[in-house]
Amino acid sequence: MRHFIKMGGSALLAVALTACSPPAPMVKQASRALPPTVGTPAARYVHAEADRHQDESGFRLLMRSTNALMSRVALADHAQHSLDLQYYIFENDATGRLMAQRLLAAADRGVRVRLLVDDINASQAIDLFDALDTHPNIEVRLFNPFATRNPSLPSRATQFLLDTHRLNRRMHNKSFIADGNVAIVGGRNIGNAYFDAGNNTNFRDLDLIAIGPVVQQAEHAFDEYWNCDAAYPVKAFHGKHADHYDLAKLRVELAHDARAFAQSDYAQATLDELPGGASADRPGDWFWGPATLVADQPSKIDAGTDQPQLRIGPDIKVMTDAAQHELLLISPYFIPGDRGTAYLDALAKRGVTVKVLTNSLASSDEPMVYASYSRYRRPLLESGVQLYELQPASGASQTATSGGTSSGVSLHAKAIVVDRQKVFIGSMNMDDRSKLLNTEMGIIVDCPPLAAAVTEFFDTATLPEYAYRVTLKADGSAHGGAIQWQATDHGKPVSYDHEPGVSTGRRVEVQMFKLLPLESLL
């Protein structure tokens, strides 16, 4: 919904209201994950590692954006039998087209490629998807689509107005699975901003590369979405579709784009940064532990009321309920609501140290979300919850959250650490949209070394040169004084009495958003 609130009313008034519905159902062939490969060098390495750890799964933490991109490229390049990708966003930009080129190259080798993308942001890449889909080894499906193949902005707004209950529910999952042996699960979409290749603000995120039993769980979750009623083949839509000529033209364009990307400063910096480091295709250390992939059921988007058995929230709550000493929460969109605030208050009252990292107003790409979060800031602080808001620092100095060359950074990682032992990393934000409207997924791991690595990420990202510590001024009153933001500037302590780094107009905008009943829609 936050995508459409921004459109305003003018687009809605520009189009006469007409009945809207998804594309007519069409016969589609169900398919399942292929058995894990066993004969390739990569497969032999993965299975040898897994055999030494029995029922545990192995993980690498992808903190650096460049490593996250190149690990995906390596998986695509080494795949021999299957690639299954599921994303909320797959941009038609430099990194998206690089990934498309590697998927096409894999398909040419005989690899079966299944690509499932949510339709909310698919319009910019729809011609790309159409052309890829004409390859005999590639199939593209769109999740919960609009009624038309590439609707205009007024059409999208009108369809959304008339079919809000359906179109407001999106597939937010992110997974990349190669040969049934290796998976990447986490918060990153496919696009420049998620790999530090954008010219403006880039997102700071976390992914896990996984091997072992949890990969088959990821394949099962993918199959559930791929074969559900809400997943439509891209060819289901009326209108122009690509043909083999379009695919041939796309090959030339993607090859040109890939060469340009390989010659870019970004690519050179990536090679300098990762000359021999561990990524998806290289031997290296793994974090091992019992793990469970959790994923909302696709039918969650059809539920008229909250049905906890369809979502991962109860699994996450079991994990956080067990906290005895410390709970770390990382969420770019953090709206705890009254129940969540009371829950964190109860944890703090029984002696659990609760720390939250989210976006500052200056780093947030969603001021409406920030406005809703700000309603709960004071009661959280009064409960003893520690709040940190990421600064929109220059990427060149943002070593805490993977360096880059952009003009600023915005938090996009979603993670939970309990007692420095259990970790959740996935797509789920801590707000009602993730809880009730979007579908989400992630991995829960019982592994103190991995928990320590994510804790280090948190601790470094919340240093005063990278994040604002939000506190209450001590003025002798029972509930403390005004809210303030504390940080350092060139090594010297600074404090602010209002949201730092933004204009007065942006702060006024947030105050206006707080007056609107938008929280349940965000």
Catalytic residues: 172, 174, 179, 412, 414, 419
Radius of gyration of the chain (CA): 23
| Nearest one of 287, 333, 330, 294 to 434, comparing CA atoms | 333
- 8 Å CB contact between 158 and 56: no
The single-letter DSSP state of residue 148 is: S
**Following DSSP, what letter does each residue of 302-344 receive, concatenated?**
G-SS--GGGSSHHHHHHHHHT-SSEEEEE-SSB--HHHHHHHH
145: exposed, middle or buried (C-beta count within 10 Å: 0-12, 13-18, 19+)?
A: buried
Q: Please state, in angstroms and rounded to a whole number, the distance separating the CA atoms of residues 294 and 214.
A: 10
Rounded to the nearest 5°, which phi and psi values hold at 496? -130, 145
DSSP assignments along 375-397, one per residue: TTHHHHHHTT-EEEEE----GGG
DSSP reduced 3-state for 500:
coil
Whether residue 390 contacts residue 411, with contact meaning beta carbons closer than 8 Å, is answered with: yes
CB neighbours of residue 477 within 10 Å: 9
Question: Taking a C-beta distance cutoff of 8 angstroms, is the pair 65, 402 a contact?
Answer: yes
Instruction: Work out the burial of residue 67: count CB atoms within 10 Å of its CB; fewer than 13 is exposed, 13-18 middle, 19 or more buried.
Output: buried
Helix or strand run (H / E) with residue 42 = helix 41-51
Cβ atoms of 381 and 471 within 8 Å: the answer is yes
- Residue 456 DSSP SS3: helix
The torsion angles phi and psi of 323, rounded to 5 degrees, stand at -60, 130
DSSP strand E in 57-106: where? 57-62, 82-87
Distance set, CA 40 to CA 77, 146, 283, 310 (Å): 13, 41, 15, 37
